[in-house]
């Protein structure tokens, strides 16, 4: 089935930190997602949809409710049973897609439901998949995430961190793969999310409209050209799209081989202490992000520049110390510290 024409990811003007954060999460979903804060009309949703379009089709088990990877060592229960019975799994090719979660979504709608009556009567589990099932191996997009129920956000972040969704009802439980790229967007003018939830997003970026008149003109020109003839416009970016997609795929394969030396681990720990960052999640996420950046740049060893770039994406939203207190990251302090450690 032919897709609807989507604005090319490589045609988006500016917003480099947002684009990089999205790319890093596709390479390494274990980063824990990205929160994009910004006013309306700053290409947030355009970038998310364009990213899914950028990536090539992927192999999936034909008919699987969770579109499992046929070569995965941890398929869902249904695929495991089929593999044991038939010795092989039928394959199909599917496109990565953006699964949107409405602000009004309930917990049952998100995680899915178990039919307890069926389990009691027939002695077998009957599971009705939810949004997390659809999201497996896709991008889960939550617009206005600050307006979503806190408990539902908790569930999303748990699944994003674990890669598994587990539903328990009346002593009966069911688990399925839920490995997805979580992208939350919000307009800070409409309210914030709790600091405890904010800390659990791997990366966070703030996007604003372009202030350079020439850049704004370029935004207008590209948008008008796209609306005038989408196919020709998209064709003009085909080479850039393929090049970036290839780089992302190569990075995903290289990532398990990327290492970082103990001195840099110590540098990250010292930086977190210096900035007064609570807990250890920030340290771990900075390291994961630095490793992913190295892979994206085709290197097997993360360096200090990777740490610096990672810190820019990981630390700012973790500087808030108490409710109603706006903590800000003093980037000059970070650069001075890292320069001293070099």
- CA 312 – CA 216 distance, rounded (Å): 25
Residue 195 contacts by C-beta under 8 Å, 6 or more apart in sequence? 320, 323
Q: Which residues are catalytic?
A: 281
- CA 115 – CA 119 distance, rounded (Å): 6
């Amino acid at each position: 089935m032919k897709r609807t024409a989507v604005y090319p990811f490589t045609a988006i003007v500016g917003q480099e930190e947002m684009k990089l954060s999205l790319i890093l999460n596709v390479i390494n979903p274990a980063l824990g997602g990205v929160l994009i804060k910004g006013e309306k009309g700053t290409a947030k949703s355009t970038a998310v949809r364009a990213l899914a379009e950028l990536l090539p089709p992927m192999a999936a088990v034909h008919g699987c409710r969770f579109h499992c990877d046929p070569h995965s060592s941890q398929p869902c229960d249904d695929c495991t049973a089929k593999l044991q019975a038939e010795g092989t799994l039928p394959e199909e090719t599917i496109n990565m897609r953006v699964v949107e979660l409405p602000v009004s979504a309930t917990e049952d709608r998100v995680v899915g439901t178990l039919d307890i009556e069926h389990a009691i009567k027939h002695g077998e589990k009957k599971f009705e998949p939810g949004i997390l099932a659809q999201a497996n191996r896709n991008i889960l997009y939550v617009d206005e995430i600050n307006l979503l129920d806190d408990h539902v956000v908790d569930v999303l972040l748990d699944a994003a961190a674990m890669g598994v969704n587990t539903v328990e009802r009346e002593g009966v439980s069911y688990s399925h793969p839920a490995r997805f790229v979580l992208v939350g967007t919000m307009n800070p003018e409409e309210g914030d999310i709790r600091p405890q939830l904010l800390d659990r997003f791997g990366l966070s970026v703030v996007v604003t409209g372009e202030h350079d008149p020439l850049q704004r003109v370029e935004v207008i020109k590209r948008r008008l050209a796209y609306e005038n003839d989408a196919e020709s416009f998209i064709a003009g970016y085909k080479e850039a799209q393929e090049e970036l997609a290839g780089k992302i795929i190569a990075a995903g394969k290289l990532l398990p081989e990327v290492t970082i030396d103990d001195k840099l681990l110590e540098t990250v720990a010292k930086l977190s202490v210096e900035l007064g960052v609570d807990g250890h999640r920030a340290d771990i996420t900075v390291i994961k992000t630095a490793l992913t950046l190295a892979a994206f740049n085709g290197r097997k060893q993360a360096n200090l520049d990777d740490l610096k770039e990672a810190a820019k994406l990981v630390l700012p939203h973790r500087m808030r110390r108490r409710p109603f207190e706006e903590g800000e990251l003093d980037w000059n302090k970070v650069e001075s510290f890292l320069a001293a450690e070099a």
